Structure 1
Amino acid sequence: MKLKICGMKYPDNILEVGALLPDYMGFIFWEKSARYFDGIIPELPKSIKKVGVFVNATQREILERIVQHDLQAVQLHGQESVTFCQDLKSTVNESIEIIKVFSVADDFNFRVLKPFEAVCDYFLFDTKGKLPGGNGTTFDWKVLENYPSSKPFFLSGGIGIDEMEVVNEISKTNLPVYCIDVNSKFEIEPGLKNIKLLYSFTSNLKL
């Protein structure tokens, strides 16, 4: 499994998190988010992929952010259609990863995933809540036992220190969990990450 740390906001904190060498670092380009990023991303180790997080943004906005921040991945966290994902994937450089997010509740219908398999590189499962993300709550991961696809996915939604044991257990299953995505459970305030807590998590997570 890989690790993504999302919702980064402050330059010094970004560099501190970068020193932990997560595989992905997420920057939210949705203005209504408390973690909205409107600065300049400082230089990070080349091994870290920068992810732009968008909510129902236009293709033009996404492309502008890719160029502005040299993004290596795009995370679509809204109601983006199959056609939108397909058009975006055909427009961006083939090396840029497309991650489509689905908000999960206990009654999630996995059949909605099928049309997206060919137009994105990964799925991301987050907890269905009032906001598109960063709600700080987990969903019942037993729902994933019904996952019908071989498409690798990011596991998100309220993952913190207390969830580490369960995350490690999930990694032992046959589920194609590609990456663990953490955010609000490791914050001092929105966008400001607790480095000591993240270090403890990364040291004990079986990546």
Structure 2
Amino acid sequence: MKLKICGLTKPDQIQELIDLKTDFLGFIFYEKSPRYVLDHLSLNEISGINHAGKVGVFVNETVENIAAVAEDAALNYIQLHGDEDENYITELRSKLNSEIKIIKVIRIGNQTTEELQKTINHQPSAINFILFDTDSKVFGGTGKTFEWQILNSIEITKPYFLSGGISLENISQLSTINHPPFSLDINSKFETEPGVKDLQKIKQFYEKL
């Protein structure tokens, strides 16, 4: 199982995570986020990070801006965390380098199993991965889990990332998911403050994995 660590802002911590062989490094390009990366790092600095799993997280951003940031920051993955529809994703795919992969977030709240299945079934072919996260008005970073058991009642047609409140305390419950995630995505449960990671906790998480 792979691991994505999101909301990175500190160069020294990023290097430590690279040394730990972290699979995906998540950078948030959403200005309303307390982990907005451009308050801490320039696009050129992100471009200079030597890693093949750099993920740019965007929320209802324009296609043109995403394409420009992806090029300037040398991103490998684009994570769409807003309300982007099929037309939007198709247009974005046409403007991105073909090697850049797209992750589409599906936010899980009070919808029924049937509603969730319908959402999954209607994902455009242009996406490469799904990411399941807890629904929230702030688009992620809630530190709250959704009911993982719902994943056992649906057919998941793409490899998926699991996000939302994953912690040292609940990692053992991952074994209850019949169709394991391609990657876990951790963030707020492994911080001392927004954007500042608790590397000791992350190392303990690796040991548990």
Question: How does the TM-score come out when normalised to structure 1?
Answer: 0.91
Within the alignment, does 1:92 sit opposite 2:99 as a pair? no
- Same amino acid, percent of matched pairs: 40
Q: Which runs of 5+ in 1 are unaligned?
A: none
In the alignment, which residue of structure 2 is the partner of 1:159? Answer: 166
In the alignment, which residue of structure 2 is the partner of 1:113? Answer: 120
Match of 2:138 among 125, 131, 137: 131
Instruction: Give 1:45 shift.
Output: 4.7
Q: How does 1:2-151 map to 2 (within 5 A)?
A: 2-38=2-38, 39=41, 40-41=45-46, 43-46=48-51, 48-108=52-112, 109-110=115-116, 111-151=118-158
- The question of whether the paired residues in 1 share the 8 Å contact of 2:105 and 2:132 is answered with yes
- Once the two structures are superposed, what CA deviation does each residue of 1:174-197 show, in whole Å capped at 9, x if it has no partner? x15211000000001000001110
Over 3 Å counting, the alpha-carbon distance change for 1:44 and 1:203 in structure 2 is farther
Task: Please state whether the residue corresponding to 1:41 is helix, strand or coil.
Answer: helix
Instruction: Give 1:150 shift.
Output: 2.3
- Once the two structures are superposed, what CA deviation does each residue of 1:100-120 show, in whole Å capped at 9, x if it has no partner? 001102424220122214120
Task: Measure, in 1, the Cα distance between the counterparts of 2:102 and 2:3.
Answer: 16
In the alignment, which residue of structure 1 is the partner of 2:182? Answer: 178
Over 3 Å counting, the alpha-carbon distance change for 1:142 and 1:91 in structure 2 is same
Task: Measure, in 2, the Cα distance between the counterparts of 1:176 and 1:85.
Answer: 26
Task: Measure, in 2, the Cα distance between the counterparts of 1:44 and 1:199.
Answer: 21
Instruction: Give 1:41 shift.
Output: 2.3
- The question of whether the paired residues in 1 share the 8 Å contact of 2:27 and 2:54 is answered with yes
Task: Please state whether the residue corresponding to 2:55 is helix, strand or coil.
Answer: strand
Letter in 1 for 2:46: I
- Once the two structures are superposed, what CA deviation does each residue of 1:84-130 show, in whole Å capped at 9, x if it has no partner? 11111122122111000011024242201222141200110000123
Task: Please state whether the residue corresponding to 2:161 is helix, strand or coil.
Answer: strand
Over 3 Å counting, the alpha-carbon distance change for 1:42 and 1:87 in structure 2 is closer
Instruction: Give 1:43 shift.
Output: 4.4
- The question of whether the paired residues in 2 share the 8 Å contact of 1:49 and 1:73 is answered with yes
Task: Measure, in 2, the Cα distance between the counterparts of 1:43 and 1:186.
Answer: 25
Tell me how large the CA RMSD over aligned residues is: 1.5
Question: How does the TM-score come out when normalised to structure 2?
Answer: 0.90
Task: Measure, in 1, the Cα distance between the counterparts of 2:122 and 2:91.
Answer: 14
Task: Please state whether the residue corresponding to 2:203 is helix, strand or coil.
Answer: helix
Deviates more, 1:73-82 or 1:160-169: 160-169
Deviates more, 1:118-127 or 1:8-17: 8-17
Instruction: Give 1:63 shift.
Output: 0.9
- The question of whether the paired residues in 1 share the 8 Å contact of 2:106 and 2:130 is answered with yes
Aligned length: 201
Task: Please state whether the residue corresponding to 1:162 is helix, strand or coil.
Answer: coil
Over 3 Å counting, the alpha-carbon distance change for 1:54 and 1:116 in structure 2 is same
- Once the two structures are superposed, what CA deviation does each residue of 1:122-175 show, in whole Å capped at 9, x if it has no partner? 1100001231010000000011112223211100001010121112443xx2x1
